[in-house]
Chains A and B, each alone.
Chain A
């Protein structure tokens, strides 16, 4: 039983990170209807920003850790908005395939630039937060896991607030529902889309820091697999649906951790895709998504 709870805890903390990345995918998909392949690399840049910021800020302090987290989020938000402005905006209204290929191009650009500027060899991520292990009735809880879960929960509450309680959030939902109609009632789509990218990228940056805290070896290609899985999580929950992305991330992280702990551990990378295929075949709209009717 305690083994089960331990795995559940590990799974939830991995799932929380997937959820943070998945939110960025789902929000961008919500407003622009395309898969932002570069998102997983923004996540990687977040981790590297944390690595370099860590050189200026004292290690092992809660305040310093939060500062690094905020710095990485800010940096990633700027990066995300720049990518949108330079690469995606010129293609707005064009064929979705072209935007998809551009996204792949941006993703490759970030990965290869990372290999040139950060170096291809893995770096060790500094211990930015003070770490300790607690035992609670047979369960071993690391402080990093607590940080991951608390930060994720706070960010999600914040996101929920922005999307449902603020003016810009209302505008985001309007653009996602119908961009043309939103424009007619005076929403500036450019600003909303830019903001969405900033918000999503900030979450990816936070995800990058939290991921690096738990798996402290970072390299320019670290984003590829978590990125793909986070996207699976977004589809699993129903793409374009914010609570769905969170749910999908948690579910996926948990399932993956359990598979990893079983005799099938070598298949852990395949399990996410198997889940994806099953979901898409039986419930293409995802767990929380609404099925859309095709009109002729």
Chain B
């Protein structure tokens, strides 16, 4: 994708336009509330998938613990709004602008917390490769979940309730745009070539003097940051979070988006995230069988199009 700045601007404009026209849409479009929920879900999944794509796709490190970072962000952001919010904004909840600032602070805190968790998880585990790395990240994700289940301040197994509903289409689009912008411009920068080199051939990269471990950790931490922000959005969208909502099924859901989109192909990953979020919604009338169809599709797609659904660079699919 050329000139990422242009796309960032476009997306931010779209976000602003949407937030300005929400009132009109609500009045004139039947079932807008439902569409809006679906769109927000798509946006959050795009953020998760694109950020994981930096780790799994571009850098070639197979992480299965993305939901863990998402949960760290979700809890931290929710805690900021729940515990800090009333103190700073007062009883009435402050003006819309103040709430916006508050939410921005909460999301940033969530992202930074997740990034910190990314450092803590990444430094020991990124020495491992392939299946082993996948397992260790899976393990860390599960450990994070169990810890949240045991922290009483954060609601234990019941989770946190009554999180203010700050998440709007504007926020999701804006954070999504920033995520896509950061990942694309990072990968296309001089520095970012190191991620691709680490993916293509680790030994050769080390031989030409790249610090592959550092690249892996940087990718991991940036991925975790955006996963955390997405978690924050998710928490303020659902207004309630429980530790079980972030188990390894969620991680796998995100990984599937990355793989179907074609690893290391941001546009494809975005399309896959849209498709995989819409699919269960479209199949809702046959509720009982929809997950069966979803899993069957997954198997068939892997056999028929192993390079990913939206990867059109034939013959370049790499193991």
- A-side residues, CB < 8 A to B, are 34-35, 87, 90-91, 94-102, 104-106, 108-109, 112-113, 115-116, 228, 231-232, 235, 266-267, 269-270, 273-274, 276-277, 280-281, 284, 296
Contact at B256–A104, with CB atoms within 8 Å? yes
Give the bracket for the number of chain B residues in contact with chain A. Answer: 35 or more
Contact at A91–B306, with CB atoms within 8 Å? yes
User: Which residues of chain A are within 8 angstroms of B147 by Cβ–Cβ distance?
Assistant: 270
Say whether, besides A104-B256, A109-B295, A277 and B139 are in contact (CB < 8 Å). Answer: yes
**Would you list which residues of chain B between 262 and 295 have a CB under 8 Å from chain A?**
263, 288-289, 291-292, 294-295
Give the distance to chain A from B220, nearest Cβ to Cβ, in Å.
Answer: 15
Output the nearest chain A residue to B247 by Cβ-Cβ distance.
A224
Say whether, besides A90-B303, A97-B259, A273 and B318 are in contact (CB < 8 Å). Answer: no
Contact at A104–B131, with CB atoms within 8 Å? no
Output the nearest chain A residue to B143 by Cβ-Cβ distance.
A270
B317 lies within 8 A of chain A by Cβ = yes
A-B contact pairs, 27 of them (CB 8 A): A34-B131, A35-B134, A35-B135, A95-B306, A95-B318, A95-B319, A96-B130, A97-B259, A97-B319, A98-B302, A102-B298, A104-B298, A105-B299, A108-B295, A112-B291, A112-B295, A113-B292, A116-B288, A228-B248, A235-B135, A267-B150, A270-B147, A277-B124, A277-B136, A280-B125, A281-B128, A284-B132
Contact at B319–A269, with CB atoms within 8 Å? no
- B-side residues, CB < 8 A to A, are 62, 124-125, 127-128, 130-132, 134-136, 138-140, 142-143, 146-147, 149-150, 203, 248, 252, 255-256, 259, 263, 288-289, 291-292, 294-296, 298-299, 302-303, 306, 317-319
Give the distance to chain A from B193, nearest Cβ to Cβ, in Å.
Answer: 22
Give the distance to chain B from A282, nearest Cβ to Cβ, in Å.
Answer: 10
Say whether, besides A270-B143, A277-B139, A281-B124, A105 and B302 are in contact (CB < 8 Å). Answer: yes
Contact at A87–B299, with CB atoms within 8 Å? yes
